[in-house]
Structure 1
Amino acid sequence: MAVQWGSYQNEIYLQGLADQVPMFTTDGTRLADAARERLEPGPFGYVAGGAGSGATVRANREAFDRWRIVPRMLTDATKRDLSTTVLGTEMPAPVLLAPVGVQSIVHPDGELATARAAAELGVPMILSTASSYPIEDVAAANTGSNGDGPRWFQLYWPNDNDVTISILSRAKAAGFTTLVLTLDTWTLAWRTVDLDQSYLPFIRGIGTAIPFSDPAFRAGLEKSPEEDPQSAILKWIPTFTGTDKRWDQLPFLREHWDGPIVLKGIQHVDDARRACDAGMDGVVVSNHGGRQVDGAVASLDVLPEIAAAVGDRVAVLFDSGIRTGADVLKAVALGADAVLVGRLFAYGLALGGQDGVRHAVRSLLADFDLTLGLSGHRTPAELSAESVRRC
């Protein structure tokens, strides 16, 4: 039976009879302000900040405001089923937890707390190469009462083939089914918020747990990262940054990964077509949440044309700017098979660890469920371009 996510609202109201209010806000647009009060400036700025002036971060949100939902009436939308399947992964709603790295800067449990919350809800998580914990530890945490949680693995492609092969092998052995290759972050953008605070987690050895625990990476060190962390960091920098890959290198990944491969960071329709021609299984329409190119086009603005061009050939996913259930509805209506949420659950993590992630995601799904029904739809598959209007 499909999960009735909207019932979370009833649970919250009934708690009011005992004079209990939610520990954290139910408004996804206010989570950032709440997290700011909890975090030190460096970690908060790293999560919330964007490239340069922040123009792309603002553009992502403004793009959602340009679209309005067109509700329909008397459609028998009382009972709804949000479940879907993307690239063989069954999910209770068209929502995945995006590959947010260095999560331990906002909560000591970091990715472990996120993995546990995701397993509880059955929502797929995407583990970042920049995790604060090794692949195997996160996989173990992502095992709930109903068995393994659905999980994908995001790759920042190392400049060392042996390390790449080793990391992919570990991810596959740990039960990660789909590979998400991030294309747009082979070097960091000019991130003024971080620069003004001289704050970068990686040079402090945070977000390096996967390579530091990797046998191929460790084989290139004279001393282990535990014995000489500084030398390990100095090796990490050229191994994971500074080199933009090429289309003709993608067959290497296909050779060493036998599951679906998704390219994340697609903003141009021709790149989406090239992904199809290269035999990829999906694309994520994304500008990295505005963190990489200042003044870039909003992801939502390019989603419809990319979905129209390749949606019948590959899975089309979306991220960059999702904060509310209405945002999820608009992205799906405009052609996304599913959306990735990042900052939203990261703020929940900052506020309350596993409980905070669970609350943030349940709130988003309840909002989406209720908005879907109130706009006259019973399933995400019923959404189409006619469900929204550009204003």
Structure 2
Amino acid sequence: MEIKKNYFCRTNYLQLALALYFTGALLAWSLQGLGILPRFYDIGVVLTLSFMLIFVALRGGFLLKRKLNYLVFMSFLIVVFIVLLNSLASSDSKVILFCFVFTISYFLFLNMASYKIKVGKIYIFFSTLLCCLFLFQVESLNMDEIGIGRVSVSEENAAYGFIAYCCVCSLAGYAHNAKFDCNGYQQFLLELAGISILLYIVILTGVRSPLFGCSFLIIYWFYQYARSELLSSPLRLVSMICLLCGMFLILSLWLSDSFFERLLHMGDTLYSGLMTISGSAVTDSASFSRVLMRGIGLDSFLSNPIQGSGYKSLWLDFPLLQAYSDLGILFGFLFMGTFLILPCLFSLRYINSSNAVGFFSLLYLANVPRLFLHGQPYDWQHFIYLVPIVAYMSNARMMTDSS
């Protein structure tokens, strides 16, 4: 009885810790709005609380057994060490802090018994609740001018993309939970309502890139329910899809008069962006600037492929290319192998695991387009979802017990 109680506490505390880790930035911004803590200190408080809760799930060490475990373990530390040296030389205090924080989080996830713990309803509830904090920070939901389809939260924290990706992290909980817990229409309807709210927030932010992750996770969630007896017939499945659309429309009409204009505008910008990137037409300035920056980054790398052009010498909005452009081919290859090639292969293999390893795999696959679309390779927004997947690849116990 005592063993079951301890397992119950470990699982619940871990789910709360993961909700704070992946979506806690929204709580931090709420604290920042109150003026209690300086900027970035509030995020540190939330992450520290998350780390303290993760300690509850520790099971006593990790196992470096296979050559691959050693390879991933060493490559992660080398990447962080190189970034730390360059940030120290450039007096980049923010990246210095991130290097220490995510080294700590790496070892925490490395020691966490992810293969024995499931991520379920508690994570779903708290992550959705944290994402909904965004709705209380929005200055106006009924704006006459649509602009680029976004709403204003505050002048300091207009990080719409990260807000949208917090919703993606929450959606990953729904998709993962459906693999082992998809019983009853009441639960299905509650999850349907939660997914509608998260999708509504993503559309409200006006950010296009998270739509891939949202679509992938919602399709995966429907697929898991379609395999169950609950939606075994095609008629039931179609009716539930229609119900999702209906709930989404009701929610949007209730909360915002201008939502459909935002939705149509997002569709237009998504189409024009794809046309611009493909070269068919230049109709989207943001996408066109990305195309130009990638050309500049490629030229910069080819002009100095061994040493690179220097730490943060360019802002390419393409983390993988910037890793090559800034610090040369060796660092770029190490970064790409550690955070793209190996995690993709292992996530595809373990995506159907019913424990936390399967959750990390889903989360990674939904977020991996960010390595091609947003920021620099040293940004903390990337390591939020990269650290867990790299940590479980480093631990032979996780790989063995999740097969």
Q: TM-score, normalised to structure 1's length?
A: 0.23
Q: Whose helix proportion is higher, 1 or 2?
A: 2
Structure with the bigger RCO (C-alpha within 8 Å, sep 6+) is 1
Q: Whose strand proportion is higher, 1 or 2?
A: 1
Q: TM-score, normalised to structure 2's length?
A: 0.23
Please identify the structure whose Cα radius of gyration is greater. 2
